[in-house]
């Protein structure tokens, strides 16, 4: 986890309480997708929030029930989250890995997600070549930020602003970034099996608005499905509030307690 500097004063050691293993801000969850082995039926990933606001459908992919993930196919696969009521999502966590190599080359786009058809077009796309739009009214602009956790080092990076430099190592970059907190990540376009947890707090004045009249939010692809990535999803959860640094630590602890993260 994050480590803060401290000064040693001559005093007795005081044990810190463990981080609670419950999910943070549970009462403010809008949709909750977890435990694929139990909750995936046909092509639908069942929402366990109990609210019934959204439906998540796997399109052109497969469920690896033994590992507990949904795998989107490169160049054609995506997870589509649609709603039956208007919701404003202030933050989202995505727990994923790259289960096989990308099939793209050069400047061909690999999408992490595309929120532009959710109903409120505030430029919520995210791919390695175009990166993100960061204008004041966009999903990632203003005070938009993200946290990342990678199983290889066991630490949380962030909060970082959702800028092209942080997310993809700039724009027009066909290789993306090489950091665990960047897309594409340490292995570039090759498979990368360690799980990564990314939590996004969206622009507080322009949240992700998913509307009943729109197609919804696409994870792992643009809306056409022709520019998608080979991502395996272990969990996707959305909140009506932003999470604090402490709550992101609690989220990591929760996934560890569930045996999903190491």
Closest CA to 26 of 218, 243, 246, 252: 243
CA Rg, the chain, in Å? 18
pTM of this structure: 0.92
Is residue 141 a part of any domain in this protein?
yes
| Percent of the chain's residues with pLDDT above 70 | 92
Number of compact structural domains in the chain: 1
CA–CA gap between residue 255 and residue 235 (Å, rounded): 9
| Percent of the chain's residues with pLDDT above 90 | 84
Is residue 164 a part of any domain in this protein?
yes
Q: How do residues 106-121 score in pLDDT, each as one tens digit?
A: 778 999 999 999 988 8
Is residue 31 a part of any domain in this protein?
yes
| Residue 6: per-residue pLDDT | 35
Question: What range does the domain containing 71 cover?
Answer: 26-257
Is residue 119 a part of any domain in this protein?
yes
Is residue 18 a part of any domain in this protein?
no
- Domain containing residue 198: CATH number: 2.60.120
Beta-carbon-side half-sphere exposure of residue 110 (alpha carbons within 13 Å)? 27
Low-confidence ranges of the chain (pLDDT < 70): 1-20
Q: How do residues 68-115 score in pLDDT, each as one tens digit?
A: 999 999 888 999 999 999 999 999 999 999 999 999 887 789 999 999
Q: Coil, helix or strand for 55? A: strand
The distance of Cα 226 from the centroid of its chain, to the nearest Å, equals 20
Is residue 2 a part of any domain in this protein?
no
Is residue 16 a part of any domain in this protein?
no
| Residue 11: per-residue pLDDT | 42
| Residue 20: per-residue pLDDT | 63
| Residue 17: per-residue pLDDT | 53
Q: Beta strand pairing status for 61-64 and 69-72?
A: antiparallel
Is residue 154 a part of any domain in this protein?
yes
């Amino acid at each position: 986890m994050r480590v803060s500097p401290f000064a040693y004063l001559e005093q007795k050691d005081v044990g810190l309480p463990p981080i609670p293993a419950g999910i943070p801000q549970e009462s403010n969850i809008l949709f909750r997708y977890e435990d694929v082995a139990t909750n995936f039926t046909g092509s639908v990933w069942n929402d366990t929030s109990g609210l019934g606001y959204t439906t998540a459908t796997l399109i052109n992919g497969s469920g690896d029930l033994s590992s507990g993930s949904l795998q989107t196919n490169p160049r054609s696969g995506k997870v589509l989250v649609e709603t039956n009521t208007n919701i404003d999502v202030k933050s989202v966590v995505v727990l994923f890995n790259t289960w096989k190599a990308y099939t793209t080359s050069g400047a061909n786009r690999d999408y992490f997600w595309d929120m532009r058809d959710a109903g409120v077009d505030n430029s919520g796309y995210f791919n390695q070549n175009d990166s993100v739009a960061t204008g004041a009214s966009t999903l990632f602009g203003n005070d938009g930020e993200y946290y990342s956790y990678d199983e290889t080092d066991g630490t949380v990076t962030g909060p970082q602003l959702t800028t092209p430099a942080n997310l993809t190592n700039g724009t027009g970059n066909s290789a993306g970034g090489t950091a665990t907190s960047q897309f594409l990540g340490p292995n570039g376009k090759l498979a990368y099996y360690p799980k990564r947890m990314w939590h996004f707090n969206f622009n507080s004045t322009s949240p992700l608005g998913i509307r009943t009249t729109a197609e919804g939010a696409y994870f792992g692809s643009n809306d056409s499905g022709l520019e998608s990535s080979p991502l395996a999803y272990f969990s996707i959860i959305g909140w009506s509030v932003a999470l604090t640094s402490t709550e992101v630590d609690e989220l990591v602890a929760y996934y560890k307690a569930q045996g999903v993260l190491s």
